[in-house]
């Protein structure tokens, strides 16, 4: 493209270097470390290779590496909206955050510090997990003090449980309870889409509903369909800043078998794309796709699903920059 500002921050074309060749970065973007990226990068793609918050089947620590590999299939132009995210925004692979595979609290501190630095550098993050607990330190890094985020949350699970295993407060089942308690999330501007599966106790749902979270269980999802659900998401989020968090177990396990806590009866990949496209115009300040666990799907198809959803979110973030400028 002719736009010199973004010339360096472009995916390597598959018509230049074949897609199976080269060192895999997210979407074949250049890998740039944070200090250099400070002045130049609008959107950073980041991996958080960590699954120490997993309560059941592990493996999401391997997600970012396989998602980078499968992201070689991404191209420049969104085939429905025509959006060309790499023409609008300078994008780069900022690598993986530091993690400590044997210390949960230390990992939360390391990841949170990385995202604080990103925010100071005025870079919008698009993250590949990792299990869903990683969204908590991301939000700790990017939420403005006194201005809690809204969230469009795709998941089979609410992730608003309180304690596990004798009182432990941090697992991938608890991030949004903690985020609301910490004032990072405004529960009245949170919508959860695709919730299903058996509960631990009959009152499991009560806490989130009492906070004012809009919960769309899968039965309501199928009654409404993806377009109306997206309309409802826009209503709930309103004009304020919002985060998009996509747990691949919100999809039916037919489409995303490589995940730690699969629940049958979810939505299709195409319906997920339709819902994400329906979020155009929201003030999206960051997003993630989490819970891709390659050991449970060595074919890589779950990782391909994950990175394709990342591309959908990337287009939303680039459109937001085009409309409103850098955050």
**Shortest Cβ 263–Mn ion spacing (Å):** 7
**Shortest Cβ 93–Mn ion spacing (Å):** 24
**11 or 287, CB closer to Mn ion?**
287
Contact yes or no for 305/255 (Cβ under 8 A): yes
**Shortest Cβ 195–Mn ion spacing (Å):** 9
**Shortest Cβ 176–Mn ion spacing (Å):** 9
**Shortest Cβ 322–Mn ion spacing (Å):** 30
**Shortest Cβ 118–Mn ion spacing (Å):** 22
**132 or 140, CB closer to Mn ion?**
132
Contact yes or no for 270/311 (Cβ under 8 A): no
**Shortest Cβ 112–Mn ion spacing (Å):** 19
Residue with tokens 């999330």: 185
What is the side-by-side order of every strand in the sheet holding 43-48? 91-96, 43-48, 124-129, 283-290, 241-247, 149-154, 185-195, 214-217
> 59-72 burial string, b = 16+ CB within 10 Å, else e?
bbbbbbebbbbbbb
Residues engaged in binding Mn ion (CB under 5 A): 132, 155-157, 159, 247, 249
**93 or 247, CB closer to Mn ion?**
247
Q: Would you call 131 exposed, middle or buried from its count of C-beta atoms within 10 A (0-12, 13-18, 19+)?
A: buried
**Shortest Cβ 183–Mn ion spacing (Å):** 21
- If DSSP codes are grouped into helix, strand and coil, which group holds residue 136? helix
Q: How far is CA 172 from the centre of its chain?
A: 14
In DSSP notation, 38-84 reads TTT-SEEEEEE---TT-SS---GGGHHHHHHHHGGG--SS-TTT---
**42 or 247, CB closer to Mn ion?**
247
**115 or 176, CB closer to Mn ion?**
176
**132 or 327, CB closer to Mn ion?**
132
Q: How far is the C-alpha of 118 from the C-alpha of 124, rounded, in Å? A: 7
Nearest to 222 by CA among 245, 196, 248: 196
User: Residue 322, Cβ neighbours under 10 Å: how many?
Assistant: 13
**31 or 196, CB closer to Mn ion?**
196
DSSP-H helix ranges across 97-148: 104-120, 135-142
**132 or 277, CB closer to Mn ion?**
132
């Amino acid at each position: 493209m002719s736009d010199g500002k973004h010339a360096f921050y472009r995916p390597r074309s598959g018509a230049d270097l074949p897609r199976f060749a080269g060192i895999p970065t997210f979407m074949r973007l250049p890998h740039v470390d944070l200090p250099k990226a400070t002045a130049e990068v609008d959107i950073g793609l980041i991996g958080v290779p960590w699954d120490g918050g997993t309560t059941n089947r592990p493996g999401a620590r391997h997600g970012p590496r396989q998602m980078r590999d499968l992201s070689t299939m991404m191209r420049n132009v969104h085939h429905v909206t025509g959006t060309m995210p790499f023409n609008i925004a300078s994008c780069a692979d900022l690598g993986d955050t530091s993690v400590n595979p044997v210390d949960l609290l230390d990992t939360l501190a390391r990841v949170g510090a990385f995202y604080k630095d990103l925010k100071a550098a005025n870079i919008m993050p698009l993250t590949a997990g990792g299990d869903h607990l990683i969204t908590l330190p991301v939000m700790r890094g990017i939420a403005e003090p006194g201005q809690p985020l809204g969230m469009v949350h795709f998941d089979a699970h609410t992730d608003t449980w309180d304690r596990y295993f004798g009182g432990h407060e941090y697992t991938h089942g608890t991030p949004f309870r903690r985020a609301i308690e910490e004032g990072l999330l405004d529960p009245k501007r949170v919508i959860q889409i695709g919730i299903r599966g058996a509960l631990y106790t009959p009152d499991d749902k009560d806490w989130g509903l009492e906070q004012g979270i809009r919960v769309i269980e899968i039965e309501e999802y199928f009654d409404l369909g993806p377009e109306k659900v997206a309309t409802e998401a826009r209503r709930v989020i309103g004009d304020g800043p919002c985060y998009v968090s996509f747990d691949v177990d919100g999809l039916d396990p037919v489409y995303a078998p490589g995940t730690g806590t699969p629940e049958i009866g979810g939505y299709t990949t195409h319906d997920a794309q339709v819902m994400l496209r329906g979020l155009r115009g929201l003030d999206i300040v960051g997003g993630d796709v989490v819970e891709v666990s390659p050991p449970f799907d060595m074919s890589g198809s779950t990782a391909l699903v994950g990175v394709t959803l990342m591309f959908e979110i990337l287009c939303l973030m680039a459109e937001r920059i085009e409309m409103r400028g850098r955050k």
